[in-house]
Amino acid sequence: MSEEYRQMWTDLGLDLEAHDALLEALGKGYQDIYLSQENRPQGMQYFDFVMSEVHGLRVKELIDAQKQGRKVIGSFCVFVPEELILAIDGISVGLCTGAEFGFAEAEKVLPRNTCALIKSAFGFGMTKVCPYMEASDMIVGENTCDGKKKSYEVFKDVVKDLYVMDIPQMKSDSGKELLRSEYLKFKEKLEQLSGRRITVDDLRKGIETVNAKRRAVHRISELRNADPVPISGMDALLINQVYFYDDPQRFTESVNKIADELEERIKEKKGVSAEKTPRILISGCPMAVPNWKLPWIIETNNAAIVGEESCVGERGTRFLTDSEGSTVDDLMDNIVDRYFNIDCAIFTPNQSRTEHILEMYDKYRADGVIHYSLQFCQPYQIESGPVESTLEDKGIPVMRIETDYSQEDAGQLRTRVEAFVERLKG
């Protein structure tokens, strides 16, 4: 990385030594896991570039935008509406939560039995290695699971300007009213921060920009039902991960280009793996960069991942926001309607998530489902039981995996995945 970036990281207050160690591990992981794949679509070169510049060029773009008066909003959850952030001409960035880094620091303030995703956010924040966290003008937390809800009480001392919004836990009328009032408060907060009142045109433009991103990833998803699959699950996951912090227009164009390329590949019957390779749907906790362990184990075990029922995947992107309406209130209602559909496991009951898993299983012609939960993630771990029994009752092979961000269980996971893939072949 150039000297210019080192100065930028110093100005952001990063711990350069720890940050160098993180970048080295990230670069090596990417090389071993991503660049070793064969038959990748050419369009993935854009994502290789994005990853090589993830703490460089993109961060510089954010800082340049701030110099022009734009605001950067960091967040951890798909309940934070990007449409509203774009409506103040802000930039939305997903924050680093996918690596086991700074856990010793995190465990000084959190119980050890906190999920890796939360510990990762604290680890990155406390060891000062996340340029996105440091560059954010405001970080948005959300009262989703108990772990996040309670940890934000501590996290407010780790980062500057933490704003916490409440999120309902039931799909009831009062739950929807709560979401509406929280989104209205969030809108006001963004207006205050930016000094700009959101107009109907601003909001419609924000909605259309995010919908375009969603439509582009929908195209990729739909093309994954071909056999042989034209893109690996690893690469599809990367696209879904980069979704959270790339420039929206550039991301949409790049993904649409890949979708065009995949259409050609399908015509030529060109895939990343052979026809009839066992097809797996992954369902469960979100996988943030650089949490690639399980997909990598699956796809290096002669199986193809054909879909992700995850917030870094279809749970996060499947619904569009209606852009019809003549007032800001109309469009706010559309945003509330759209986000209230998200079937995160923090909701009770949450039957629609299982229905969506079944729908995806059929749509992507999967042979089996791997349910992935992070250790100590109660919502997804508890929900994995009913999900498993519903799927098994329908004769769908399913395997439940609980893991974390370490490599300690990689050997054991490989053995289990291998046995599952053999079962699917049978």
Among residue numbers 122 through 181, which ones bind ligand SF4 (CB under 6 A)? 144-145, 147-148
Kindly tell me which residue out of 342, 387, 396, 401 binds ligand SF4, with binding defined by CB under 6 A: 342
| Residue 77 in contact with ligand SF4, rule: CB under 6 A | yes
Minimal distance, residue 77 CB to ligand SF4, in Å: 3
If one asks whether residue 99 binds ligand SF4 (CB under 6 A), the answer comes out as no
DSSP 374: E
All residues at 6 or more sequence positions from 369 whose CB lies less than 8 Å from its CB, including other chains: 280, 281, 282, 283, 357, 361, 391, 396, 397, 398, 399
State the minimum distance, in angstroms, from the CB of residue 378 to ligand SF4: 6
Task: Work out whether 293 is an interface residue with ligand SF4 (CB under 6 A).
Answer: no
CA distance 372 to 389: 15
The residue (of 146 and 263) whose beta carbon lies closer to ligand SF4 is 146
- Tell whether omega for the bond before 397 is within 30 degrees of 0, i.e. cis: no
**14 near ligand SF4, rule: CB under 6 A:** no
Residues 343 to 372 in contact with ligand SF4, rule: CB under 6 A: 344, 346
In DSSP notation, 106-166 reads HHHHS-TTS-HHHHHHHHHHHTT--HHHHH-SEEEEEE-SHHHHHHHHHHTTTSSSEEEEE
Q: Does 288 bind ligand SF4 (CB under 6 A)?
A: no
> Which listed range, 45-53, 115-123, 213-221, 319-327, lies at the site for ligand SF4 (CB under 6 A)?
115-123
For ligand SF4, the closer of residues 145 and 223 by Cβ is 145
CB of 350 to ligand SF4, least distance (A): 10
Contacts of 255 (CB under 8 A, 6+ apart): 213, 216, 217, 219, 220, 239
Q: Where are the beta strands (DSSP E) in 37-96?
A: 72-75, 91-94
Segment interacting with ligand SF4, rule: CB under 6 A, options 72-80, 98-106, 188-196, 197-205: 72-80
Cα separation, 395 vs 426, whole angstroms? 14
- Binding residue for ligand SF4, selected from 380, 383, 398, 421, defined by CB under 6 A: 380
Backbone angles phi, psi at 93, to 5 degrees: -130, 135
Based on the shown chain and the rule CB under 6 A, indicate whether residue 78 belongs to the binding site for ligand SF4: yes
- For the bound state, the minimum distance from the C-beta of residue 167 to ligand SF4, rounded and expressed in Å, comes to 8
74 scored as a contact of ligand SF4 (CB under 6 A): no
- Minimum distance of ligand SF4 from residue 149's CB (angstroms): 9
Residue 76: exposure state from Cβ atoms within 10 A (0-12, 13-18, ≥19): buried
* Count of residues near ligand SF4 by CB under 6 A: 20
Structure tokens that stand for 100 in this block: 């086991």
Measured from the CB atom, is 111 or 411 closer to ligand SF4? 111
* Among the listed residues 271, 307, 313, 379, the single contact to ligand SF4 using CB under 6 A: 379
Q: To the nearest 10°, report the CA torsion of 111, 113, 116, 117.
A: -70
Query: Helix, strand, coil shares of the chain as percentages rounded to 5?
Result: 55, 10, 35
d(CA 59, CA 61): 5
Residue 304 DSSP label: E
Considering the complex, what minimum distance in angstroms separates the CB of residue 254 from ligand SF4?
23
- Report the site for ligand SF4 in 24-43 (rule: CB under 6 A): none
Neighbour tally for 24: CB within 10 Å: 10
Please give the residue ranges that form the binding site for ligand SF4 (CB under 6 A).
77-79, 115, 117-118, 144-145, 147-148, 285-286, 311, 342, 344, 346, 374, 377, 379-380
